[in-house]
């Protein structure tokens, strides 16, 4: 058996096109999961307060409610505020930064595995990523977890 036949590595424009397709498929999959996500009333109240505070101009240290500052880096709240400004006050806009971060992680993984191993390995790696419980959960939570995952 020829080793080159097993390694169908992707390059150039084809790699970029297929990675973009992996991004879009991942986002579509995560949005399909989103309505069944753990959107609790308690969680939404805290996050909505932080986004309102960012939109009001408190970008350096937003607060969940008066007197309770956000205990994590504010990058998620900045991104959520942008999503809410463009998408309106809804669950999907509040969670859009997490969904996009997981989708981008899937596209980066596809590009990496596709360029170093093969297209088949890249497809299976994205499927494994998206089907893991932690990733599926992190993509639906309005928290920093998914954004931290993409930075690793």
**Nearest of 142, 61, 50 to residue 100 by alpha carbon:** 142
Helices (H), 34-144: 41-55, 75-87, 91-116, 119-131, 133-138
Cβ(144)–Cβ(47) below 8 Å = no
- 82 vs 89: CA distance, rounded Å: 11
- Spell out a b/e string for 16-26, using b for 16 or more CB atoms within 10 Å of the CB, else e: eebbeebbebb
Query: H or E stretch including 33?
Result: helix 12-33
Which two tokens mark 106? Answer: 């899937």
Q: In the structure, what pLDDT confidence band is assigned to residue 152 with cuts at 50, 70 and 90?
A: low
What confidence tier does 142 reach under pLDDT thresholds 50, 70, 90? Answer: confident
Residues in the chain: 152
Domain locations along the chain: 20-151
Q: Residue 143: which of 34, 46, 56 has the closest Cα?
A: 46
Cα-based torsion angle of the residue sequence 37, 60, 102, 80 in order, rounded to the nearest 10 degrees: 50
121: which 2 tokens? 């390995």
**What's the pLDDT tens digit per position in 91-136?**
788 888 889 999 999 999 999 999 888 889 999 999 999 998 888 8
Single pTM value for the model = 0.80
Angle subtended at Cα 94 by Cα 56 and Cα 105, rounded to the nearest 5 degrees: 120
CA distances from 149 to 26, 133, 144 (A): 15, 14, 9
């Amino acid at each position: 058996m020829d080793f080159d036949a097993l390694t169908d590595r992707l390059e150039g424009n084809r790699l970029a096109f297929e990675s973009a397709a992996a991004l879009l498929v991942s986002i579509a999959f995560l949005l399909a999961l989103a309505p069944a996500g753990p959107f609790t009333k308690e969680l939404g109240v805290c996050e909505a307060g932080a986004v309102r505070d960012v939109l009001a101009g408190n970008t350096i240290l937003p607060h969940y409610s008066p007197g309770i500052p956000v205990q994590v880096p504010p990058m998620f709240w900045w991104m959520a505020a942008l999503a809410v400004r463009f998408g309106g006050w809804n669950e999907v806009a509040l969670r859009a930064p997490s969904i996009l971060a997981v989708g981008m992680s899937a596209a980066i993984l596809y590009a990496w595995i596709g360029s170093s191993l093969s297209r088949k390995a890249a497809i299976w790696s994205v499927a494994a990523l998206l089907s893991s419980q932690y990733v599926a959960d992190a993509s639906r939570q309005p928290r920093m977890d998914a954004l931290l995952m993409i930075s690793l």
